[in-house]
DNA sequence: CGAGTCATTGACTAGTGTCAATGAGTGTGG
DNA sequence: CCACACTCATTGACACTAGTCAATGACTCG
């Protein structure tokens, strides 16, 4: 029923050469296939200037990962923190009885390891090919202590992550399956927009199981809701993306 | 069926005169009925020393509230932030369609307004008589900028609040009604313990509706789970508290 | 004592979960 | 290049948890 012919080109995980002319003084900019780092505007490092940028860059190790690679495992010693520069990373936690909760999907500009805790609070696994700046956790912590501006910036990021987590709590606690799916799609759309603008095409590099575990549903229920919204003409659903046909209806479903 | 004769004395919201000899140099200590502030060990201000304590104290306005008083309303301009010194505060958010999500219950030592945002992210309402140190948000923000140690401390608190929010997400997303109730009781027990040690008696100054809205359930379901655990001999349930009879069983229910 | 609020209980229902079968897409080896 | 195995998504039938509606009970406050 649903078209499955598409691929992930809409994700635009590669860097855009048009940004070549951007400010060269920021982390990650020298290391990515000759292109400038276009995530700086919404990345944690955008608060730094002058020498501090060079110092942070000295600590940053540019890394590339294939899709479906673990970046960190819950409860393991936290060696590193990451600043994602391209791709998508799934953040999740496994309960002892095998149930799993997905907390979110990190996008370019997102920082993984905000708590700076000894042990990783959750798993982080790539869903697509990912590039990231990797930092030694101890070094990063020390550097942060010497840079109040960076500390302040990370504080703000953590506070807004907390606000986002509370939104998610309200979604899980108050909403029906259909509303949850609408919230998920519109939330992802908004977060993707900071890179490429609002689009009606939403790439879904994660599996239905990931979506289900994010929304506190089963894979079957997610599938049924997609099918329902597809039949109603609200969405065009494919395995690896959806296109929004009736944004208004979706927004009404997701209305706070 | 359930005994309803008890009152809230177990909450021990009053201050303990045994702490009279504690370090006098900290916020809130002069203002509370002649007793020392016994929340300092786990409060945000415990990082400060010397003159900085006096400066913060100069900004702090000691306040008292009756039970069921609003401290702040969601979306309203955020004038103040609070450091709770006694009592319990409900943090909640109302959705447009009338559904409500309770995010948590602030206890002595907890800070309300971590995000320091222009507008309050949620409602805060007292459940018991409450005392708190109130700060002007702008003044507090400026003071924090001048005190990297305090900034660092608030960062850590925010990060651990984020971790707690993610625990709550996992509870809402993965668990059954019975498990949710067990998690709620044991979580509250643990948080109360930092003041008075672990106790089998858990005061419940919030309504069943508050518990239901915290756990993403209905009031009837919460009531049924209480009744069930009561019948099984796991709990002694009263309107305003429960006593844990079979901790082991409860912990198995709540096991991560 | 009576009104009002909140919690409990019961009967019934709806929404999701569970289980099982089928379909579609992907990768591998002959 | 095709056949096969494998994974993942969809669909249907059915079960069950938790929600809804309504009545009753317990406590609180004038």
Let me know if residue B171 belongs to a domain. Answer: no
**Which chain B residue's Cα is nearest to A103?**
B166
- For residue B139, give the H/E element and its range: helix B137-146
Answer yes or no: do A109 and A185 share one domain.
no
User: Mean per-residue pLDDT for A67-86?
Assistant: 96
The count of domains in chain A is: 2
- Rounded distance, CA A174 to CA A167, Å? 11
Of A19 and B158, the one with more pLDDT = B158
Find how far residue A240's CA is from the centre of its chain: 16
Q: A231 beta carbon < 7 A from strand D? A: no
Determine contact: A221 vs chain B, CB below 8 A: no
User: Has residue B209 been placed in a domain?
Assistant: yes
pLDDT at A77 over 50: yes
State whether A14 and A136 are in the same domain.
Answer: yes
pLDDT at A8: 42
Average pLDDT over residues B159-174: 97
CA distances from A205 to A111, A221, B59 (A): 19, 19, 50
Q: Does the pLDDT at position A219 exceed 60?
A: yes
Residue A110 located in a structural domain = yes
How many of the other CB atoms lie within 10 Å of CB of A22? Answer: 15
Weakest mean pLDDT among A80-94, B13-27, B204-218: B13-27
Question: So what's the pLDDT on residue A7?
Answer: 42
How far apart (Å, rounded) are the C-alpha atoms in residues B12 and B130?
Answer: 12
Per residue in B47-68, pLDDT (tens digit) is: 888 888 888 888 999 999 999 9
**Residue at A169 is within a domain:** no
Range of the domain at A45: 4-164
Residues A34 and A64 in one domain: yes
Last residue of a domain, one of A164, A190, A221: A164
What's the CATH number where A159 sits?
A: 2.60.120.10
d(CA A91, CA B170): 12
Confidence band (pLDDT; 50, 70, 90) for B247?
Answer: very high
- Whether A28 is covered by a domain: the verdict is yes
- The Cα–Cα gap between B23 and B169 comes to 38
Residue A157 tokens, joined: 């990021």
Closest residue, chain B, to A114 (C-alpha)? B159
E strands in A30-99: 61-65, 70-72, 80-86, 89-94
* Residues A37 and A61 both lie in one domain: yes
Mutate to test the interface with A, among B142, B159, B218 (most CBs of A within 10 A): B159
Reading the block at residue B228, the tokens are 């069930």
Residue B239: nearest nucleotide (C-alpha to C1'):
C7
Q: What is the pLDDT of residue A28?
A: 54
pLDDT of residue A195: 85
Share of chain B above pLDDT 70, in %: 85
Domain CATH for A190:
1.10.10.10
**pTM of the complete model:** 0.90
pLDDT of residue B17: 32
Cβ neighbours, 10 Å, residue B60: 23
DSSP alpha helices (H): ranges in chain A?
A: 51-59, 137-146, 148-174, 177-196, 208-215, 219-231, 247-254
Q: What is the pLDDT of residue A54?
A: 84
Q: What are the DSSP calls for B29-64, one per residue?
A: TTSBTTB--TTGGGSGGGG--THHHHHHHHH-EEEE
Please name the residues in contact with A29: beta carbons below 8 A apart, sequence gap of 6 or more.
Answer: A22, A36, A37, A40
Say if residue A184's pLDDT is above 90: yes
Position A73 scores a pLDDT of 96
Q: Report CA A120 to chain centroid distance, whole Å.
A: 17
The mean-pLDDT minimum among B2-6, B153-157, B169-173, B246-250 falls in: B2-6
Residue B169, in any domain of the structure: no
The whole-number average pLDDT for the span B106-129 is: 96
With bands split at pLDDT 50, 70 and 90, how would you rate the model's confidence at B27?
A: low
Examine the domain organization and report whether A81 and A158 are in the same domain: yes
Nearest CA in chain A to B93: A170
Inter-CA distances, A156 with A80, A114, A148, B60, B159, Å: 21, 11, 12, 23, 11
Higher confidence at residue A48 or residue A130?
A130
Which pLDDT band holds residue A36 (cuts at 50, 70, 90)?
Answer: low
The residues of B between 76 and 135 with beta carbon within 7 Å of nucleic strand D are none
Least confident of B45-49, B120-124, B135-139, B228-232: B45-49
Band the pLDDT of A57: cuts 50, 70, 90: confident
- So what's the pLDDT on residue A51? 84
Q: Which two tokens stand for residue B116?
A: 């320091």
A104-143 residue pLDDT tens: 999 999 999 999 999 999 999 999 999 999 999 999 999 9
pLDDT of residue B256: 65
Together in a domain, A138 and A216: no
For A185-204, write each residue's pLDDT tens digit. 999 999 999 988 999 999 99
Output DSSP code: residue A75: T
Residue A171 lies in a domain: no
Q: In this structure, are A13 and A139 located in the same domain?
A: yes
| Crossing angle of helices B51-59 and B148-174, rounded to 10° | 60
**Top-confidence residue, A70 or A32:** A70
The pLDDT assigned to B15 comes to 32
Q: Is the sign of the CA dihedral A33, A149, A41, B113 positive or negative?
A: positive
Is B117 part of a structural domain of the chain? yes
Among B153, B159, B147, B217, residue whose Cα is nearest residue B183: B217
Tell whether A96 is within 8 A of chain B (Cβ): yes
Distance B66 CA to D30 C1' (A): 20
* Residue at a domain's end among A101, A133, A164: A164
């Amino acid at each position: 029923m649903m078209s499955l012919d598409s691929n992930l080109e809409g994700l635009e995980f590669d860097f855009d050469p048009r940004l070549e002319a951007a400010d060269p003084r920021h982390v990650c900019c020298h290391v990515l296939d000759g292109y400038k780092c276009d995530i700086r505007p919404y990345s944690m490092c955008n608060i730094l200037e002058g020498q501090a940028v060079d110092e942070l860059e000295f600590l940053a190790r540019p890394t590339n990962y294939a899709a479906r690679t673990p970046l960190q495992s819950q409860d393991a010693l936290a060696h590193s923190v990451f600043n994602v520069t391209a791709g998508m990373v799934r953040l999740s936690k496994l309960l002892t009885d095998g149930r799993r909760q997905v907390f979110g999907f990190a996008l370019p500009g997102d920082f993984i390891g905000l708590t700076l805790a000894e042990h990783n609070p959750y798993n982080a696994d790539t869903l697509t090919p990912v590039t990231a700046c990797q930092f030694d956790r101890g070094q990063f912590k020390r550097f942060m202590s010497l840079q109040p501006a960076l500390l302040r910036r990370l504080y703000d990021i953590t506070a807004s992550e907390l606000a986002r987590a509370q939104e998610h709590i309200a979604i899980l606690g108050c909403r029906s399956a259909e509303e949850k799916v609408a919230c998920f799609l519109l939330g992802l759309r908004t977060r993707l927009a900071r890179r490429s603008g609002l689009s009606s095409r939403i790439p879904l590099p994660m599996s239905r199981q990931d979506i289900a575990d994010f929304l506190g549903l089963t894979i079957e229920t997610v599938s049924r809701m997609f099918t329902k919204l597809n039949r109603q003409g609200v969405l065009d659903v494919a395995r690896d993306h959806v296109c929004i046909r009736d944004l208004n209806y979706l927004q009404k479903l997701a209305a706070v």
